[in-house]
Amino acid sequence: MENYLSLYMFLAVCLLLMLGYPVAFTLAGTAIVFAAGGILLDVFDPSFLIAVPSRLYGTINNATLIAVPLFVLMGVFLEKSRVAEELLGSMARVFGRLRGGLGISVVIVGMLLAASTGIVGATVVTMGLISLPSMLRAGYSPSLAAGTICATGTLGQIIPPSIALVLLGDVISNAYQQAQLNMNIFNPKTVSVGELFIGALIPGLLLVALYILYLLACAWLRPESTPPVSAERINWTDTMKGLLPPLILISVVLGSILSGAATPTEAAGVGAVGAFVLSLIRSEMTISRLSEVVQSTLEVTCMVFMILIGAAIFSLVFRGFGGDELIRDIFGQLPGGVMGATFVVMLLIFMLGFVLDFIEITFVVVPIIGPILLTMGLDPIWLGIMIAINLQTSFLTPPFGFALFYLRGVAPESVQTSAIYRGVVPYIIIQLSVLVALWTWPELATWLPAVVKQ
């Protein structure tokens, strides 16, 4: 029994989280209770807990993680100043005369907003409030409108720059170094968050392109479900005023990272300041609204870092019980070698995505399985992108997908839950197709980082 205490601890955490207990305190509390029990039973070395202060100091001293509050601040500024709403209106004027044009506008704006916030719930709720009424008024099929909004809301998992990729990149980097040390490589190579951003670019844009192609196909096969919005002449001056500022800001942030001119943290700082300036120019940033922005940013940042601290304690105790060795032995006995182990891990992450948010999975699951899979020879960038898209698909899959719950909370009663479920099915198929393509051709994620690194 004592050999499986680490797995029992993991199952206990999942059960408590499903019961609704706070994530950060559940992770740390469960780990401490199991550690105390292990010490009493003489099956846990208490010296492992001595490493907790150094782990916490390393978290606080991690320059990469400073990008988290800055990207959150940038996204909240764009949301509260109604820049996203005006961006959608401008896009709708450009594409609105085409069948499916409003849906295409929603995909593009959702992509930009998702990249800015990186929080699935915030993006789905915001797009649901802004665009769902517009699509329904225009005569769009409720299922198509709901499915499009849910799908674009999850793009924050894969479209850079996003908080999800910042956090995942930091964890993957640590796991890669740990894997190399396990292989007695004492001058380990590194993988940066910027490289993960570059690796995510082709798969992310491929997803967006396939979403748009699906909408065009709906416009061709079922024209009544995607009517044009209006036939009015476009006022290009007003349209460009809504389009250019946020597009330039996001292009500068992402371009500086991809070109190597700035680190993700530095680019996030530029993005936050730029979003604040946009808010001031639009005269939307009053003192009360600025207070809302700061408070919202503080809440999200505190949540992320409290979970990170709880996950650090959990992973330390997990290793103290020999959990990493147990998982390594289990993976070694699976049929199919490294790809069989990877498939099992992807299936596990997909299932956990029904009950855990990406932050918990990133901080709890990836540090456990990451070093083991990377020791088996997987590319860290490919593994990170596969996990990101896998989680994106999980958050979209009925009946437990987070994105579905978020949209249900803001959608009018006229939009039935069954319509939301029907609407996301084609997008799930698209995302699974991209996962299969990445599995078959890993170069979709690894080619561009290798080219840029040369």
Specify if 3 maps to a domain. Answer: no
Residue with tokens 């009663």: 413
Beta-strand (E) ranges in 83-222?
Answer: none
Helices (H) and strands (E) in the chain, counts: 21, 0
pLDDT digits (tens, 9 = 90+) for 117-171: 556 666 777 778 778 888 888 888 889 999 998 898 888 788 887 778 888 888 8
Query: Which domain covers residue 225, as residue numbers?
Result: 24-35+46-453
Specify if 5 maps to a domain. Answer: no
Q: What was the pLDDT predicted at 210?
A: 95
3-state secondary structure of 362: helix
Specify if 177 maps to a domain. Answer: yes
Specify if 6 maps to a domain. Answer: no
Reading the block at residue 427, the tokens are: 């997008």
Specify if 40 maps to a domain. Answer: no
Q: What was the pLDDT predicted at 215?
A: 92
Q: What was the pLDDT predicted at 283?
A: 65
Number of Cβ atoms within 10 Å of the Cβ of 20? 7
Specify if 444 maps to a domain. Answer: yes
For residues 290 and 274, what is the distance between their CA atoms, to the nearest angstrom?
15
Q: What was the pLDDT predicted at 230?
A: 63
Residue with tokens 């019980």: 321
Q: What was the pLDDT predicted at 1?
A: 55
Share the mean pLDDT of the chain.
83
Number of domains in the chain: 1
Q: What was the pLDDT predicted at 297?
A: 84
- In the chain (454 residues long), the average pLDDT of successive 10-residue segments reads 76 79 84 90 84 80 80 80 75 76 85 67 74 84 90 84 83 87 78 87 93 92 80 67 79 80 84 86 77 85 82 84 80 79 88 76 84 88 92 82 80 85 92 94 91 77
For residues 230 and 228, what is the distance between their CA atoms, to the nearest angstrom?
6
Specify if 11 maps to a domain. Answer: no
Which amino acid type is present at position 190?
Answer: T
Specify if 198 maps to a domain. Answer: yes
